[in-house]
């Protein structure tokens, strides 16, 4: 950035940097700094009785406030665990006659946002605040761009947060500094993922990795991103799902495999959709969708307790109970409950008439399965607030799912709905290669009608099935949406560290 585009504050900070350098103070010293304690640990553990344990501490953090009292400065720094106050006295920091370093560094060199280190001892001020009495102060990083102004109370708690989403999502690094609750959301996200991983590992599941670049975008009905593989001189796709690769591993002899899969779908963006997202998928041999419902209930209970200490989780003005068992209802019954119309025996023409009657605008190039999906989405999905398994879907909606063992025309599939949104999708997997080929061929017909989300035929996957895949159950769980619910967020962008945005125009 040229000097002409710098703000007045940015110019002042660069002038301070120059003066520090002229005085021989390195504003960006070597990175090793012997931090011994974190703010929260000191504030939680320090007492007058155990003060000897805190007689020599070394802390580091970003300056969040400076209170200049002349020969004494009160500086609050923020580290990865919270905020603590430093008591900085000129005559103790620089006991000799030469006070020039005090003037250059402390009095005129420090700004909000600078990162400093401090050695000293813990004590409690007259106002009752646990603080660090500074014996040395070291500039570790000079901040050249001022942070947005945030109002805090005397305890350091933010009461006037920066809420502009354009700023927060584009400059997440600054958002994390000035809005401490944001960091807590992402700490919980990691805890959520680790809870799932621990649960599955304890069950004997094996975590694996599968390709992100795929020759055929299989495993879901979605529009893919396309790229070009220069070395092979062929088109490749960013994966829309990892399902078909995980099933190949079941064919290969693994009993239970899972993957936290970063998927990409070249579709719309809104509060619950992002083109790049994370899904957990697992596949287990010799199980069915009934077993999968039970294990899913166990997992969601465990996640809720791990993050909240209870199965009751606040979400907006609601409380979601993750206590098993969850409600179960067929997709046809769900539509009938909400519309009074039984669509279970209708053909494509009849379904189009129902959509027209209910004023649901549907494309002319989609088939029976998509029409039922549109009906459910428009009339029923939003009504399921508490965890509910929507079960037994029409075969046309589920080209990778095994036909129902007792209900002709249906498949053994469920979607888990929570707060009106799909969180998980699971099947008793189709392992009949002849049936699977016919389903893929039906998808090709839909593609020829103009359905750009219809599935491709994956001939290698069909070959794998011909070797024989044991009876298997599989599930996909939307990690981003689950994280939204478990951290009480209304937008998927608030649980993604760096959500997709239109490129910024830079000078």
Mean pLDDT of 208-234: 92
CA-to-CA distance for 188 and 185, rounded, in angstroms? Answer: 5
Q: First-to-last CA distance in the chain?
A: 7
Are 113 and 25 in the same domain? Answer: yes
Q: Is residue 341 part of a domain?
A: no
Residue 422 annotated in ligand binding: yes
More confident residue, 394 or 137: 137
Q: Is residue 398 part of a domain?
A: yes
Q: Is residue 274 part of a domain?
A: yes
The pTM (predicted TM-score) of the whole model is: 0.89
Mean pLDDT of 189-208: 98
Q: Domain boundary residue among 84, 116, 147?
A: 147
471 Cβ partners below 8 Å, 6+ apart? 285, 286, 287, 288, 428, 429, 431
- Contacts for 179-182 with beta carbons within 8 Å, 24 or more apart? 179/150, 180/78, 180/82, 182/494
CA-to-CA distance for 123 and 55, rounded, in angstroms? Answer: 9
Mean pLDDT of 170-185: 93
Q: Is residue 25 part of a domain?
A: yes
Are 204 and 314 in the same domain? Answer: yes
Q: Is residue 281 part of a domain?
A: yes
CATH number at residue 396: 3.30.930.10
Residue range 417-433, pLDDT digits in tens: 999 999 999 999 999 99
Q: Is residue 447 part of a domain?
A: yes
What b-and-e string marks burial along 335-362, b requiring 16 or more CB atoms within 10 Å of the CB? bbebbebebbebeeeebbebbeeeeeeb
Are 292 and 408 in the same domain? Answer: yes
Are 27 and 118 in the same domain? Answer: yes
CATH number at residue 119: 2.40.50.140
**pLDDT of residue 466 exceeding 70:** yes
Q: Domain boundary residue among 115, 147, 179?
A: 147
Are 195 and 291 in the same domain? Answer: yes
Domain count, the chain: 2
Are 47 and 111 in the same domain? Answer: yes
Are 279 and 425 in the same domain? Answer: yes
- Read off φ and ψ for residue 365, nearest 5 degrees: -105, 10
Are 135 and 248 in the same domain? Answer: no
Q: Is residue 356 part of a domain?
A: no
* Structure-token pair, residue 389: 């398994």
Are 136 and 201 in the same domain? Answer: no
Residue range 93-104, pLDDT digits in tens: 998 878 899 999
**pLDDT of residue 338 exceeding 80:** yes
Q: Domain boundary residue among 132, 147, 162?
A: 147
Domain range enclosing 485: 187-326+386-495
Are 219 and 143 in the same domain? Answer: no
Q: How far are the Cα atoms of 188, 211, 425, 447, 480 from residue 489, in angstroms, in the given order?
A: 12, 31, 22, 36, 10
Residue 49 annotated in ligand binding: no
Using alpha carbons only, what angle is made at residue 196 by residues 192 and 198, rounded to the nearest 5 degrees?
115
Are 220 and 129 in the same domain? Answer: no
Q: Is residue 458 part of a domain?
A: yes
Are 403 and 298 in the same domain? Answer: yes
């Amino acid at each position: 950035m040229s000097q002409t585009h710098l703000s007045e504050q940015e110019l002042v900070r660069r002038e301070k940097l120059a003066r520090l350098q002229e005085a021989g103070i390195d504003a960006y010293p070597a990175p090793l700094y012997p931090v011994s304690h974190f703010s929260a640990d000191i504030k939680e553990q320090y007492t007058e009785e155990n003060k000897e344990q805190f007689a020599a501490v070394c802390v580091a953090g970003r300056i969040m406030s400076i209170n200049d009292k002349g020969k004494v400065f009160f500086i609050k720094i923020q580290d990865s665990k919270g905020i603590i106050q430093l008591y900085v006295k000129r005559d103790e920091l620089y006991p000799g006659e030469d006070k020039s370093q005090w003037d250059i560094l402390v009095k005129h060199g420090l700004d909000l946002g600078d990162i400093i280190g401090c050695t000293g001892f813990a004590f409690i001020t007259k106002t009752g605040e646990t603080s660090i009495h500074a014996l040395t102060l070291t500039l570790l990083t000079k901040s050249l761009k001022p942070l947005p102004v945030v109002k805090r109370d005397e305890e350091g708690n933010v009461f006037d947060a920066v809420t502009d989403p354009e700023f927060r999502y584009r400059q997440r690094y600054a958002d994390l500094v000035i809005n401490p609750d944001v960091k807590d959301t992402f700490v919980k996200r990691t805890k959520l993922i680790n809870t799932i991983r621990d649960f599955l590992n304890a069950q004997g599941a094996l975590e694996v990795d599968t390709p992100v670049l795929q020759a055929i975008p299989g495993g879901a009905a979605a529009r893919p991103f396309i790229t070009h593989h220069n070395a092979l001189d062929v088109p490749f796709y960013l994966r829309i799902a990892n399902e078909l690769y995980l099933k190949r591993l079941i064919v290969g002899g693994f009993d239970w495999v899972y993957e936290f899969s970063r998927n990409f779908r070249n579709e719309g963006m809104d509060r619950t959709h992002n083109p790049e997202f994370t899904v957990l998928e697992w596949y287990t041999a010799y199980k069915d969708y009934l077993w999968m419902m039970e294990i899913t209930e166990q997992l969601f209970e465990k996640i809720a307790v791990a993050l909240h200490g209870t199965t009751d989780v606040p979400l907006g003005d609601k409380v979601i109970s993750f206590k098993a068992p969850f409600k179960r209802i067929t997709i046809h019954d769900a539509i009938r409950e909400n519309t009074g119309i039984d669509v279970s025996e209708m053909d494509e023409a009849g379904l189009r008439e129902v959509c027209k009657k209910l004023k649901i605008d549907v494309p002319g190039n989609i088939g029976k399965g998509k029409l039922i999906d549109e009906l459910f989405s428009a009339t029923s999905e939003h009504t399921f607030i508490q965890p509910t398994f929507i079960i037994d879907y029409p075969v046309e909606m589920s080209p990778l799912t095994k036909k129902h063992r007792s209900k002709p025309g249906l498949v053994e599939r469920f979607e888990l709905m929570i707060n009106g949104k799909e969180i998980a999708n699971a099947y008793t997997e189709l392992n009949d290669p002849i049936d699977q080929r016919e389903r893929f061929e039906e998808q090709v017909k839909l593609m020829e009608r103009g359905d750009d989300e219809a599935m491709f035929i994956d001939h290698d996957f069909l070959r794998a099935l011909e070797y024989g895949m044991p009876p298997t159950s599989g599930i996909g769980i939307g990690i981003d949406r689950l994280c939204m619910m478990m951290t009480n967020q209304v937008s998927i962008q608030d649980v993604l560290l760096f959500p997709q945005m239109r490129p910024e125009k830079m000078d």
